[in-house]
């Protein structure tokens, strides 16, 4: 994304909620859009999955011009709200200065995009731009179980309101929580949790139910809930609305049962570790993971991905989007982090890797195919070829004879 031009005057009619962090941005942004839609529609939504007006995917360019068209259509239709997934790259280019948000949510921060930023400090500083540019009457919704939230508070304008949320699986809480959940129970049908009583939000129901699977989505739901409550959405209506939201594609998406096959976008060490932890809770047999890493970027995270994968019983290393690198080189660097593991295998062809994992799976086993999620292409030597993890799984099942 190039640096955005001056914000158009018609955009003053839109109240923007920005979501940033390493993982969970897309899911949280979708939840925010659904919740603010309880106040007024249509709602503009810009994410890595595309630009939407309510649930309609718009045919607009995949860059700033497409974003601008989406916002203009929303404003012209009488919309009042926009939910924006904001990457560190866009924020580093000055998006928050040109297009300030009134509410900003922080999901978490871990190793990613090291090639684009050069250091963890620059990565965090880029994310911080969203919060530094909040208006005096704005609201920051922060994951207080991530240490970086404390640093973000330090750069907030003095009068910005702060809502803190968190779940215990993320880590030790920094500051008192306004929104918290415990007794988080995932299943193949979704996730349930108990919402703790909140002095700040006394009307909060005691139970949260989601169609998405895992602790991380409870975190995302709390972040979205904080944004919605800050804007005046009634707590009970918001929690009920969250219960009916379908999961985004490629986010712990169960595409087959017996054996269970899950597609997930997890492509950072933190995301892979958490996704595997959820898979382990659900798996009654052998847990396998099939994954690789993108080429030409983020080499530092490759051994850390390997270390995270050790939680699986079987590991099949394969290609992700190798771009201009040799997939074998990437796999070797991941394997260095895996170390000695009895279940480690290598298969450079991603289709064959998936079919290999399927061929040896029993009815109670779970296969996690990680890294690409919703993507429908695979980039090799500058060419984006059609490729879908979901399609490969379905084709393998239809063939009846994985090989």
d(CA 370, CA 233): 35
Which DSSP letter does residue 323 get?
Answer: B
Structure-token pair, residue 6: 């001056």
Specify the pairing of strand 15-20 against strand 103-106.
parallel
Give the CA distances from residue 351 to residues 245, 246, 252, 337, in Å, rounded to whole numbers and listed in that order: 31, 27, 19, 23
Q: What is the pLDDT of residue 118?
A: 54
Q: Are 34 and 47 in contact (CB under 8 A)?
A: no
Q: Which residues pair with 47 in a beta bridge?
A: 50
Q: What is the pLDDT of residue 397?
A: 79
Fold classification of 9-243 is 3.40.1190
Residue 180 zone, left/alpha/beta (φ > 0; ψ -120 to 50; rest)? beta
- Do 285 and 383 meet the contact criterion of CB atoms below 8 Å apart? no
Nearest-angstrom CA–CA distance, 126 and 143: 17
The alpha carbon of residue 112 and the mean position of all alpha carbons in its chain are separated, in whole angstroms, by 13
Place of tokens 């944004």: 227
**Cα 195 → chain centroid:** 22
Strands, DSSP E only, in 139-298?
A: 139-143, 161-167, 179-187, 190-195, 207-210, 253-256, 260-264, 287-291
**Count of other CB atoms within 10 angstroms of residue 386:** 8
pLDDT score at 402: 41
Nearest Cα to 14, choosing from 66, 112, 84, 65?
84
Least Cα distance to 91 among 65, 128, 116 occurs for 128
Task: State residue 135's pLDDT score.
Answer: 96
The strand pairing partners of 283, in sequence order, are: none
* The CATH homologous superfamily of the domain defined by 253-399: Mur ligase, C-terminal domain (3.90.190.20)
| Residue 78, pLDDT score | 96
Give pLDDT, residue 112.
54
pTM of the model: 0.94
Select from 84, 117, 79, 109 the least CA-distant residue to 99: 84
Q: Where are the domains of the chain?
A: 9-243, 253-399
To 10 degrees, the CA torsion angle through 226, 230, 234, 240? -20
H helices of 133-268, in order, are 148-155, 215-230, 235-243
> 111 φ, ψ to 5°?
-65, 125
Tens of pLDDT along the chain (403 residues) come to 455 567 888 999 999 999 999 999 999 999 999 999 999 999 999 998 999 999 999 999 988 899 999 999 999 999 999 999 999 889 888 899 889 999 999 999 985 545 554 566 777 888 899 999 999 999 999 999 998 999 899 999 999 999 999 998 887 776 789 999 999 999 999 999 999 999 999 999 999 999 999 999 999 999 999 999 999 999 999 999 999 999 999 999 999 999 999 999 999 999 999 999 999 999 999 999 999 999 999 899 999 999 999 999 999 999 999 999 999 999 999 999 999 999 999 999 999 999 999 999 999 999 999 999 999 999 999 999 999 999 999 999 776 544 3
Say if CB 18 and CB 91 are below 8 A apart: no
261 vs 258: CA distance, rounded Å: 8
């Amino acid at each position: 994304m190039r640096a955005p031009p001056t914000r158009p005057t018609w955009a003053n009619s839109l109240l923007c909620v920005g979501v940033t962090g390493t993982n969970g941005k897309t899911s949280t942004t979708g939840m925010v859009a659904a919740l603010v839609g309880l106040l007024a529609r249509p709602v503009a939504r810009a994410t890595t999955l595309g630009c939407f007006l309510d649930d309609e995917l718009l045919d607009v360019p995949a860059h700033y011009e497409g974003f601008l068209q989406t916002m203009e259509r929303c404003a012209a239709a009488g919309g009042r709200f926009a939910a924006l997934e904001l990457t560190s790259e866009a924020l580093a280019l000055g998006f928050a200065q040109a297009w300030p948000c009134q509410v900003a949510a922080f999901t978490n921060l871990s190793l990613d995009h090291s090639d684009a930023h050069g250091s963890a400090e620059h990565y965090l500083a880029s994310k911080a731009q969203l919060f530094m540019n909040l208006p005096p009457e704005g609201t920051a919704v922060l994951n207080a179980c991530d240490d970086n939230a404390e640093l973000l508070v330090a750069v907030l304008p003095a009068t910005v309101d702060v809502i803190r949320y968190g779940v215990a699986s993320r880590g030790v809480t920094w500051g008192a929580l306004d929104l918290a959940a415990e007794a988080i129970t995932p299943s193949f049908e979704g996730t349930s949790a108990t919402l703790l009583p909140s002095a700040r939000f006394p009307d909060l129901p005691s139970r949260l139910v989601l169609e998405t699977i895992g602790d991380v989505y409870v975190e995302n739901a709390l972040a979205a809930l904080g944004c919605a409550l800050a804007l005046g959405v009634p707590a009970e209506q918001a929690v009920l609305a969250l219960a009916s939201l379908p999961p985004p594609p490629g986010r712990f998406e169960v595409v087959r049962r017996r054996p269970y096959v899950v597609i997930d976008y997890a492509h950072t060490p933190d995301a892979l570790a958490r996704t595997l932890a959820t898979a382990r809770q659900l798996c009654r047999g052998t847990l396998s993971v099939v994954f690789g890493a993108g080429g030409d970027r983020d080499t530092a995270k490759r051994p850390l991905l390997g270390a995270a994968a050790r939680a699986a019983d079987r590991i099949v290393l394969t290609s992700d989007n190798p771009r201009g690198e040799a997939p074998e080189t990437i796999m070797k660097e991941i394997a260095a982090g895996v170390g000695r593991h009895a279940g480690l295998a290598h298969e450079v062809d991603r289709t064959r890797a998936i079919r290999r994992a399927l061929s040896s799976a029993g009815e109670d086993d779970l296969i996690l195919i990680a890294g690409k999620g919703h993507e429908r292409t695979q980039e090799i030597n500058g060419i984006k070829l059609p490729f879908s993890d979901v399609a490969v799984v379905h084709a393998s099942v239809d063939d009846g004879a994985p090989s």
